Amino acid sequence: MRADRLVSALLLLQAHGRLTAADLAQRLEVSVATARRDLEALSAAGIPVYPQAGRGGGWALVGGARTDLTGLTAPEAESLFLLLGPAAETDRARAALRKLVQALPRTFRDEARAAAEATMIDSAGWGEPQRVRPATVELLQRAVVRRRKVRITYRGKDARPAARIVEPWGLIDKDDTWYLLAGTDRGRRTFRVDRIAETELLDEPATRPDDFVLEAAWREVVADLERNRSRTWATARAENRHLPILRHHFGIHCEVVSRAGAEVVLRVAAPTALDLARNLAGWGGLVEVLEPAEVRDELARIGAELTAAYAGESRLTSS
């Protein structure tokens, strides 16, 4: 896993002072390109790792080799654990992070632990297009780590932007869409970060439940959302070549039932029969809905509306 490699790369630089990407690749048993990307990721995260050109050059940790991490400043340590924490998906990676925490100066350890737990990655998509990381993510990460309240101006799905003060508990990167879990006067709430128009870090301390675990809380959020997003299922038939696009569109709400030759039978889901029909109508005859009747009826209605709206224009164009 990448978290294992990033920790190992940092410790190797401390032990040896300077390494080329080729040296690091050999020690980590990865390609030179992968080693170089890991070094660049450490540098981009604010860790004082820099390349040195020329004969005898390579990558070095500014300040020379150290067996501990006393050379890191508090912001650098925070950046390191914000980078490594979300990638620590294995027991080995988490064990490496715990050891790395113990190597930090005592005054940095609490913030390092908080940074490692501030963000998590959920790679399972919801069928949405990839997005650019919102600029406000970094400020929210700092608020989570430093336990500070934030004032946000939030634009709900069907509401005007409204200002509110929240206590940020953690951030989730779900397939390039970011979410903030926060405490409010109405209890725990989930906010889409790309709908936060303004963010202000306040001086007021934020509280978080002692038993709060970001991964467990996010599983509860996802379970609730999935129940709402998959209330209606439809069985459909399509050619195998269309399956990757349908999977990308419906995300985890696309299940293969069977395959026969060039065709596949699958199940897809959405909140309502109308939502399913709207999502499938653009496929025309390329996707045939087998059941339920409610979705077929909605497709027929949409088809009749389109025919009524455009059939006359089609005749005029052809003449």
pLDDT at residue 286 in the model: 95
Residue 6's contacts (CB-CB under 8 Å, 6 or more residues apart) are 38, 41, 42, 83, 84, 87
Residue 319 lies in a domain: no
Whether 126 is covered by a domain: the verdict is no
Strand ranges of the sheet holding 18-19, from the earlier edge strand across to the other edge: 18-19, 58-61, 49-52
> What's residue 190's pLDDT?
92
**Residue 158 belongs to a domain with what CATH number?**
2.30.30.520
Could you say which of 116, 147, 176 is where a domain stops?
116
pLDDT band at 182 (very low <50, low <70, confident <90, very high): very high
The answer to the question of residue 65 being in a domain is yes
What percent of the chain is predicted at pLDDT more than 70?
Answer: 71
Same domain, 72 and 161: no
For position 26, what pLDDT does the model report?
Answer: 86
- pLDDT at residue 64, as a whole number: 47
* Residue 43 to residue 65: CA distance in whole angstroms: 16
For residues 112 and 6, state if they share a domain. Answer: yes
More confident residue, 165 or 100: 165
Cα maximum dimension of the chain: 82
Task: Please state the rounded mean pLDDT for residues 99-113.
Answer: 58
Structure tokens, 270: 């959405």
Estimate to the nearest angstrom the gap between the alpha carbon of 32 and the chain centroid: 27
Mean pLDDT of 153-177: 84
Residues 17 and 100 in one domain: yes
- From 227, 259, 291, give the residue that closes a domain: 227
Report whether pLDDT(142) > 50.
yes
Does 87 map to a domain? Answer: yes
Same domain, 155 and 204: yes
Domain encompassing residue 157: 137-227
The CA distance from 93 to 102, in Å, is 15
Query: Does residue 100 share a domain with residue 68?
Result: yes
- Examine the pLDDT at 169 and tell me if it is beyond 60: yes
pTM: predicted TM-score of the whole model, two decimal places: 0.50
The mean pLDDT of 260-274, rounded to a whole number, is 93
Q: What is the rounded CA–CA span in Å between residue 87 and residue 116?
A: 9
- Partners of 259 in beta bridges: 264
| 128: pLDDT strictly greater than 60 | no
Any domain includes 166: yes
Are 10 and 107 part of one and the same domain? Answer: yes
Report the distance separating Cα 71 and Cα 285, nearest Å: 64
Res. 51 pLDDT band, cuts 50 70 90? confident
Let me know whether 219 and 234 are in one domain.
no
Residue 121 is assigned to a structural domain of this protein: no
Per-residue model confidence as pLDDT tens digits over 292-301: 999 999 999 9
pLDDT in tens, 62-86: 654 344 555 555 565 555 656 555 5
CATH number at residue 32: 1.10.10
User: What's the rounded Cα separation, in Å, for the pair 304 and 251?
Assistant: 29
pLDDT at 187 over 60: yes
* SS3 assignment, position 306: helix
In degrees and rounded to multiples of 5, residue 140 shows phi and psi of -65, -35
User: Residue 290's CB: how many other CB atoms inside 10 A?
Assistant: 13
Instruction: Please check whether residue 125 lies inside any domain of the structure.
Output: no
Of residues 240, 311, 234, the one with CA closest to residue 280: 234
Give the pair of three-digit tokens for residue 243. 């399956």
pLDDT reported for residue 81: 59
Residue 246 has pLDDT above 60, yes or no: yes
User: Cα–Cα distances in Å, from 115 out to 97, 130, 163, 169?
Assistant: 11, 25, 26, 11
Measure the CA–CA gap between 98 and 113, rounded to whole angstroms: 8
Q: Are residues 172 and 266 in the same domain?
A: no
pLDDT tens digits for range 2-35: 666 777 777 777 767 788 888 888 888 888 888 8
Residue 104, Cβ density class (10 Å: 0-12 exposed, 13-18 middle, ≥19 buried): buried
The count of other CB atoms within 10 Å of the CB of residue 241 is 10
Residue 288 shares a structural domain with residue 183: no
State the pLDDT confidence band at 259, using cuts at 50, 70 and 90: very high
131 assigned to some structural domain? no
- Do 264 and 195 lie in a common domain? no
As a whole number, the mean pLDDT across the chain is 79
Q: What are the C-alpha distances in Å from 60 to residues 13, 33, 104, 301?
A: 6, 17, 19, 66
For the cut 80, the answer to whether the pLDDT of residue 38 exceeds it is: yes
Number of domains the chain contains: 3
pLDDT confidence of residue 39: 84
Q: Which of 87, 105, 74 is nearest to 41 (CA)?
A: 87
User: Tens of pLDDT along 190-216?
Assistant: 999 989 989 999 999 999 888 888 888
> For residue 280, what is the domain's CATH number?
3.30.70
Q: Do 251 and 262 belong together in one domain?
A: yes
Final residue belonging to a domain, choices 181, 201, 227: 227
Residues 148 and 61 in one domain: no
Among the residue ranges 105-119, 165-179, 215-229, the one predicted with the least confidence is 105-119
